Amino acid sequence: MSTDGTDHVVRFENVGLRYGLGPEVLQDVTFELRPGGFYFLLGDSGAGKSSLLKLIYLALKPSRGLISLFGHDIAITPRRQLPELRRRIGVVFQEFRLLNHLSAFDNVALPLRVAGGRESEIQRNVDELLQWVGLKDQIKARPPTLSGGQQQRVAIARAVIARPKLLLADEPTGNVDDRMALRLMHLFEELNKLGTTIVIATHNQSLVNRFGHPRLRLADGSLTLEPGTETAWPREAPPLRSVSHGRGPRNAL
């Protein structure tokens, strides 16, 4: 179902991550994300949610273990092929990472431009999307002049503009009111219906409860699928396998 004919979008096997010589922030993380899935990523502050997402969007290399994206083992993927993989991934960074000297329009247009899109199409798509997230009047504004919630929406628009196969959103509703949060969630649902796999890291329990998607929980460096959410999985196949190695019995989730 995915572009490379593989049955997963993301696959981690015994992935460990440490920063420098520090302790392992992630330990033996093993899971698969299936095409078309919609997941919440939960965990206390500092549990490693952002770190896990960074591994997926190739901002970090794991200290050990195997990571495969769309069927490509990233450890053996040549550097020049990475941009092509990254273009299939949309990321809403926790700290937005907008380019402050570019207008909202140019920020959102970036993924299309780096992929060599045509300017006329870019113009139309970006305008439309910015209007949709309620930033019609801020098209020319630079991020520092926008409110936190407005910046967040620019960041979301930039993440989804190129119709990614995989959307990773790190606290995407942290700075907006509940109504806007719902609106953005519906945007993600729309995208999901079009086939995009979605992972949303969030602390917003009411949103999580409201949308009954599977919940991945990070605690003590390990990733587990929360009991009771398997039923939310729309397919017959298990959405996620989490196997802990050398620590008790294998528990396929």
Partner 1 sequence: MPFSLFTRRYDFANDRDALRHFLPWLIAFMVYLAVLALAGVLALNETAGRWNRGVAGTLTVQILAGPDAIQGNDEARVKAALGILRATPGIVRAEAIADSATAALLEPWLGGAGAIADLPLPKLIDVEMASEGSVDLQALSRRLTAAVPGASIDDHRIWLERLLRLIGTVKAIALAVLALIGIATVGTVIFTTRTGLAIHREAIEVLHLIGAQDTYIARQFAHRALMLGLKGGYAGLVLALPTLLMAGIFAHYLGASVLPQLSLGPAHWMALAILPIGVALIAMATAGVTVMRTLARLL
83 scored as a contact of ligand ATP (CB under 6 A): no
Please state the separation of Cα 167 from the chain's center in Å: 4
| Residue of the chain from 46, 83, 148, 234 that contacts partner 1 (CB under 8 A) | 83
DSSP per-residue string spanning 94-136: TTB---TTS-HHHHHHHHHHHTT--HHHHHHHHHHHHHHTT-G
Shortest spacing between CB 85 and ligand ATP, in angstroms: 21
Give rounded-to-5 percent helix, strand, coil for the chain. Answer: 35, 25, 45
| Residue of the chain from 1, 3, 7, 19 that contacts ligand ATP (CB under 6 A) | 19
106-135 residues near partner 1, rule: CB under 8 A = 106, 110-111, 113-115
Quick one: what does residue 84 bind among partner 1, ligand ATP, Mg ion, none, with the CB cut-off 5 to 8 Å set by partner type? Answer: partner 1
Residue pair 92/160 in contact (Cβ under 8 Å)? The answer is no
Residue pair 154/111 in contact (Cβ under 8 Å)? The answer is no
| Residue of the chain from 68, 94, 196, 197 that contacts ligand ATP (CB under 6 A) | 94
> Distance from first CA to last CA of the chain, Å, rounded?
22
The amino acid occupying position 20 is G
Count of chain residues binding partner 1 (CB under 8 A): 26
87 scored as a contact of partner 1 (CB under 8 A): yes
| Alpha helices in 170-213, H assignment, sequence order | 178-193, 205-210
List Cα–Cα distances, 155 to 96, 166, 167, 218, in angstroms: 6, 15, 12, 24
Quick one: what does residue 1 bind among ligand ATP, Mg ion, partner 1, none, with the CB cut-off 5 to 8 Å set by partner type? Answer: none
How many CB atoms are located within 10 Å of the residue 32 CB? 20
Shortest spacing between CB 102 and partner 1, in angstroms: 7
Site string for ligand ATP, 26-65 (x = CB under 6 A): -----------------x-xxxxxxx--------------
Among the listed ranges 26-34, 58-66, 200-208, 236-244, the one in contact with partner 1 (CB under 8 A) is 58-66
Binding footprint of Mg ion on the chain (CB under 5 A): 49-50, 94
Binding footprint of ligand ATP on the chain (CB under 6 A): 19, 22, 25, 43, 45-51, 94
